[in-house]
Amino acid sequence: MRYSAFYPRLSLALSLCLNITLGLELFRPPMAQAQVRADRTLSRTSQVDLDGNRWVITEGTLRGTNLFHSFEEFSVPENGTASFQGIDPAIANIFARVTGQLRSNINGTIEALQTNGALSSANLFLLNPNGILFGPNARLNLGGSFIATTADRIQFANGVQFSASTPQDVPLLTVSTPIGLQFGSNPGRIMNRSMAQNFSSTGEVLLDPFDGEARGLRVLPGQTLALVGGSIRLRGGGLVAGSENTEPGGRIELASVGANEVVRLIPSTMGWSLGVTPGQNFDDIRLSQGAIVNTSGNSGGAIVVQGRNIRLSGGSQFLSVTQAGRGESMIVNATDRLIVTGASDQGNSLLYTETQASGSAGDIQLSARQLQISDAGFITSLSSGSGKGGDVMVNAVETIEVIGRPSSLVTLADGDGAAGDLQISTRQLHILEGGEVGSIASGTGRGGNVMVNASESVNIIGISTAPELTDDDRGGNLLAQTQANGENAGAAGNITVTTDRLLLQNGGQIASSTVGGGDAGRLTVRARDIELTGIALDDDGSPFLSSLEDGSLPYPSGLFSGTGPGSTGSGGQLRVTADRLSLRNGAVLQTNTFGSGNAGNMEIRVREFITVSGRAPGNLIPTGITAISGGFPGSGFREVRRATGSSGNIQITTQDLRLEDGAVIATSSINPAAAGAGQLQIQARSIALSNNAQLNARTESGGRDSATIDLRGLELLSLQGGSQITTRAGIETGGGNGGTIRIQARYIVAEPVGDNDISADAGQGDGGDVDITANIIGLVQQDRPTSPQSGITASSEQGVSGTITIRSPEFDPTRGLLELPTDIVDRSRLIARTCRPANPDAPQSAFVITGRGGLPSSPRDPGSSNPVESDWVTLPPQTEPTELSTTTAISPETAMPELATGSQPPNSQTIVEAQGWQIGTQGEIELVAYSQNRSIAPAIEQNPPCPTP
C-alpha cells in the first residue's frame, strides 16, 4: 500500500507572473539605472567599455592571484551582460565592490572569461552594502564560485581590507586569501527572482532530477553559490549548484546577518563555506512563490542556511538529489523560527534529500527555537534506489508543530535501500489535525528508526477528516511502517518516545506496523504521565468512522503495534514505562495481527497506577489494553476472521489497576485455525473491576495454554457491577478448550448478587482450569454460570468441565504479636530504699515513675525529659543502706558485680542515689552523687521530698 500523500509533486517547472514591479518595498536605496561604471579608487582603475548590451570589464588591480575591481555603479539590464574579460588562468578570485549609494539591479548576465573566451575558473565576489536585486532574467556564466554580499568590506589574513564604505587602494603587498565579511550598521538586503533558463555542459536545457527545468542563478558542479546579506528574499527565484546527473552537486549557502557582524570565509572542496559564531545576530530569510534551492547531482551537494526566522511557503523548496555518490548534508539553522508551509500547483513546500541510485542521500540537520510544518509542508529524506536515505535530525529548543494533512516530517524507503533514521529533540512536540511524523518502508529496504525526546510533552491530537482522503491518508500519527510484500520485504524501524507527558487524543496514534512481508518494529514509550483519550471526531463532534471493506469503524486514540490484513510479517513488541497511565473514552493500547504473522508482545510497567475506563462515544468500542488476532468479538474492534497469527502476550506490572465502565484488558483469537490467544499476566497490589469491566483471554482455538490469565502479588482483587475475569473458549465456533486462570491474592471481594464471575468456560472443548489462592468473599463455586449470582466456573457446554482449585493463603497466627518475658520479677527489690525521714528543712529523696513520655501531669508542673529504657539492676546479696558518699559514681562494675569464675568475692558496697551526671573521657555519660567539682552537672529536676509515713 502506497501512502501517496508522502510523495510530494516535486516538479520544478514553475510559471510565474513577471509583471510585478521590481522596485519593491524591500529595498529602500534607489534603484540604479542599468549600467556599469567604474570609480577611480584603485591605483589601476577598472576599464568598462560598452559593446551593444555588453559591458566589457578589463584591467583592475592585480595582487598575487587576486584581481580587484571598484565601481561607482554596478547594474545589468534585461538582455545585458557584465563581462569580466581577459582573466588570466592563474587568477583565483575576482573582487568587485560598489562604492556608490545605489543598490545593484541585476536582470541580465554576469560572466567571467579568459582571454580565449573560455569560462574563467576564478571565484567572483560582488560586494554592495546598499543591496542586491536579481531580476527574473538574471543569469550567471561563471566557471568558479559566486558570492554576492551586502557586507561593508572583505577581510584578508594579513590585515588588509577591501572596503566599499571607505574605499581605499589595495596595498602593494601581496594580498592573501579572504577570511571574512565585515558588515556595517545597516546591512543591505538581497532578493532573488531569477528564473533564467540554464544549459548543461553539452548545450542542452538543464533539467532537475524530476525532469523539470532547473532555472535561476546557477554555478557549475562542485562550486559554491552564496548570498550573504541583511534580510534575504527568494520570490519565485531559483538557485542552482550543479544539477547534472553525471557531475557532483555544488554548495549553496544563505546567511542573513545582523548589524556589525562578521562572517568567516572558509575554503572548501566545493568552493567556500561560511562560518558563523554561536550567539551572532541574524536577520530573516524568506522563500515564497515556488522558490527553489537545488544542489542535485551525481553526489548531491550541500545546502546551508542560517538566519533568525526562516520561512518556506507557496511550494518553495530546498532539495538535493543524489545518484551514485554520497550526498552532502542540508543544514538549516534558525535562531528563532523555521516554518515550512503551503503548496502550489508545482509542488509542496519542502526540505528534501533523495538517493535515486546506489549513492547515499544527504542528511537533513535542523535547529531552531520553534519548528512549524503546516498546510502540506514536508521535511523528507527518501531512498528510491539501492542507496540509503538520509537521516533527519531536528533540534527545536521549544516546540515542534506538524499541523494538518499531508504535512509530514518523515524518512522514506521506496526501493532496495534503507530509509534514514528520524531523530527529534525538543521541549514540546505537537502533531495536530492529521500531521504525520515517522518512517515508512515500501520496498525491500528497511524503514528507519524514529527517536523522539521531548522533555516536557508529546501531544498527538486529531486526524484529517477531509472527504477526499482515503482511510490510510488521514494522518494524525507518529509511525514506523513497512508496506512492501514478498519474502524480501523490508522491516519497519523501531519507535522510541521519551517525554514527561504523553497525550493522544481524538484519534491521535503512535503505531509500528506492517502491511506486507516485513516485520513491524518495536514501539517503546517512556513517560511520567501517559493519557490516551477518545476517538476521532468530525467537525460536529460526532464519531468519525472509516470506510473499510470489513466495516465502518472508529479511529481510536492509542499506542499500536500490529500487522495488516493479508500481511505475512510479524508485529513488533510494545513496551510502556510510566509513573501513571490513563485510558479513557475508547482509547486503546494494542498489539494485533490481521495476517499470518504473530502479533507482538506487550509489556507495561507503571510505578503508581493504571486506570482504564469507559467506552467510546456512541458505545462503539470499549477502552482497552488488548492483544488480538483477527479481532475481539462483540467489542466493535476491527475483525478479520482469516487472520491466522497468534495474538501477543500482555504483561502488566503496577501498584494499583482500575478498570471501570465497560473497559477491558484482553487477549483474543477469533479464527479456529489460528495459533490462539496470548497470555495475560498482571502483577499488582490491587485490582478493582467495576461496572462491566473485564479481564479476558478469549480464543476459538488452541489448548489450555493458549488463553491464560495470571494475577499475582495481590492484596485485594475486587469485582462489582457485572465485572468478569474469563478465559472463555469456543463460544462462537465451538473450538478450543477453556484457558487457565491463576490468582494469588490475600482477599478477593465481589458483590454476591451482581453477575461478577471468574470463569474458564468452553463450548465444544473442555473447560479450563481455575487455581485461586485467596480469602474469597462474595463468590461461590458453581457448575455453570448462574445469573445474577456471582460465581467461579470452569464449565463446558459439550465437553468435560475443567477444574477449580481454591486455597486459603498461608496464615501465621503469631504474626503481629509481641514476645513477653516468662520470669516474674519483684520490682520492689530493684528500688533502693534510702528515702530519709520527712523533714521540711532538709532535702528529700524520691523515686518517680512517669508514664507520660516526659509530659507534666498539669500545666503548672515542670516538664521532664522522655523516659529512657534501662535494664533492671540486680542487687548484690546482703546489701544494706549506709551513709551516702558524695563522690562515688555508679559504674557498670557496681551495678553488675558478677565475677568471673575463680575471682574473689566482692566487698559489700553501698548503692548510692545519683544526684548529677558527667561526661567521661570516652564521651560516655556517668551518673554521680553530689560533688564539689563544678564540672559535674546537677540533675535537671530536683525530686520532691518523700511523704511522711
Rounded Cα distance, 425 and 472, in Å: 27
Please name the amino acid found at residue 527: A
Rounded Cα distance, 510 and 492, in Å: 14
The answer to whether position 620 is within a domain reads: no
Q: Which of 735, 738, 745 is nearest to 710 (CA)?
A: 745
**Distances 195 to 61, 104, 231 between C-alpha atoms, Å:** 33, 18, 20
Are 373 and 245 contained in the same domain?
yes
Decide: residue 64, CB within 10 A, 0-12 exposed, 13-18 middle, 19+ buried. middle
Residue 665 DSSP label: E
**Distances 354 to 328, 345, 380, 438 between C-alpha atoms, Å:** 11, 21, 8, 16
Query: Which residue segment(s) compose the domain that 82 sits in?
Result: 29-182
**Distances 337 to 77, 396, 397 between C-alpha atoms, Å:** 36, 9, 10
**Nearby residues of 699 by Cβ (< 8 Å), 6 or more positions away:** 668, 669, 676, 677, 706, 707, 727, 729, 730, 736, 739
Distance of CA 295 to the CA centre of its chain: 30
Q: Which residue has the cell 458505545?
A: 619
Q: Are 737 and 795 in contact (CB under 8 A)?
A: no
pLDDT (tens digit per residue) in 26-81: 334 444 455 899 999 999 999 999 999 999 999 999 999 999 999 999 999 999 99
**Nearby residues of 287 by Cβ (< 8 Å), 6 or more positions away:** 233, 234, 293, 311, 312, 313, 316, 317
Are 689 and 786 contained in the same domain?
yes
Question: How many degrees, rounded to 5, is the angle at CA 262 between CA 256 and CA 263?
Answer: 60
pLDDT (tens digit per residue) in 683-735: 999 999 999 999 998 877 654 456 899 999 999 999 999 999 998 765 555 55
Are 228 and 350 contained in the same domain?
yes
769, 786, 807 — which closes off a domain? 807
The beta-strand segments (E) located in 550-594 are 558-563, 574-584, 588-593
Distance of CA 421 to the CA centre of its chain: 13
The answer to whether position 111 is within a domain reads: yes
Q: Are 262 and 180 in contact (CB under 8 A)?
A: yes
φ, ψ at 729 (rounded to 5°): -140, 140
For residue 169, what pLDDT is reported?
A: 86
Q: Are 284 and 344 in contact (CB under 8 A)?
A: no
For residue 31, what pLDDT is reported?
A: 44
Please name the amino acid found at residue 77: P
Q: Which residue has the cell 589574513?
A: 157
Are 264 and 380 contained in the same domain?
yes
Rounded Cα distance, 936 and 916, in Å: 7
pLDDT (tens digit per residue) in 886-923: 444 434 343 333 434 444 444 545 566 666 767 777 66
Q: Is the bond preceding 406 in cis, omega lying within 30 degrees of 0?
A: yes
**Nearby residues of 91 by Cβ (< 8 Å), 6 or more positions away:** 62, 65, 66, 67, 120, 122
Provide the β-strand partners of residue 419. none
- The per-residue DSSP string of 163-231 comes to ESSS--PPPSSPP--EEEEE--SSPPPEEE------B-TTSSBPB-TTSSB--SEEE-TT-EEEEEESS
**Distances 526 to 45, 501, 504, 665 between C-alpha atoms, Å:** 69, 9, 14, 21
φ, ψ at 619 (rounded to 5°): 60, 35
The answer to whether position 121 is within a domain reads: yes
The answer to whether position 454 is within a domain reads: no
Residue 895 DSSP label: H
Are 257 and 353 contained in the same domain?
yes
Distance of CA 432 to the CA centre of its chain: 15
- The per-residue DSSP string of 469-492 comes to S-GGG---EEEEEE---STTPPPP
- Which strands, in side-by-side order, build the sheet including 916-919? 889-890, 925-928, 916-919, 937-938
Domains: count for the chain: 4
The answer to whether position 163 is within a domain reads: yes
Rounded Cα distance, 912 and 495, in Å: 80
The answer to whether position 457 is within a domain reads: no
**Nearby residues of 646 by Cβ (< 8 Å), 6 or more positions away:** 593, 598, 599, 629, 669, 674, 675, 676, 677, 678, 706
Rounded Cα distance, 47 and 86, in Å: 12
pLDDT mean by block of 10 residues, the chain; 949 residues: 28 28 38 76 94 96 94 96 97 97 97 96 98 98 98 91 91 80 96 94 83 91 97 97 87 97 94 91 97 95 98 97 94 98 93 96 98 98 96 98 96 94 98 96 92 98 85 85 78 96 97 89 97 92 76 86 87 96 96 88 98 93 90 69 83 98 90 76 98 89 70 97 86 65 96 92 81 95 85 84 88 58 59 54 56 53 54 53 41 39 48 68 68 48 50
Are 175 and 223 contained in the same domain?
no
Are 112 and 42 contained in the same domain?
yes
CA dihedral over 918, 920, 926, 931, signed as positive or negative: negative
For residue 858, what pLDDT is reported?
A: 56
Are 175 and 227 contained in the same domain?
no
Rounded Cα distance, 244 and 200, in Å: 7
807, 840, 870 — which closes off a domain? 807
Rounded Cα distance, 766 and 783, in Å: 13
φ, ψ at 367 (rounded to 5°): -140, 140
Q: Which of 382, 245, 230, 225 is nearest to 307 (CA)?
A: 230
Q: Which of 748, 750, 749, 746 is nearest to 811 (CA)?
A: 746
Rg of the chain on CA atoms, in Å: 43
3-state class of 95 per DSSP?
strand
Q: Are 756 and 779 in contact (CB under 8 A)?
A: yes
Rounded Cα distance, 150 and 163, in Å: 11
Are 93 and 153 contained in the same domain?
yes
* Helix or strand holding residue 892 (H, E): helix 892-895
Are 227 and 167 contained in the same domain?
no
Q: Which of 132, 114, 121, 113 is nearest to 26 (CA)?
A: 132
The answer to whether position 512 is within a domain reads: no
Are 336 and 233 contained in the same domain?
yes
* Helix or strand holding residue 502 (H, E): strand 495-505
Rounded Cα distance, 796 and 803, in Å: 11
Are 130 and 232 contained in the same domain?
no
772, 807, 842 — which closes off a domain? 807
Distance of CA 323 to the CA centre of its chain: 32
The answer to whether position 596 is within a domain reads: no
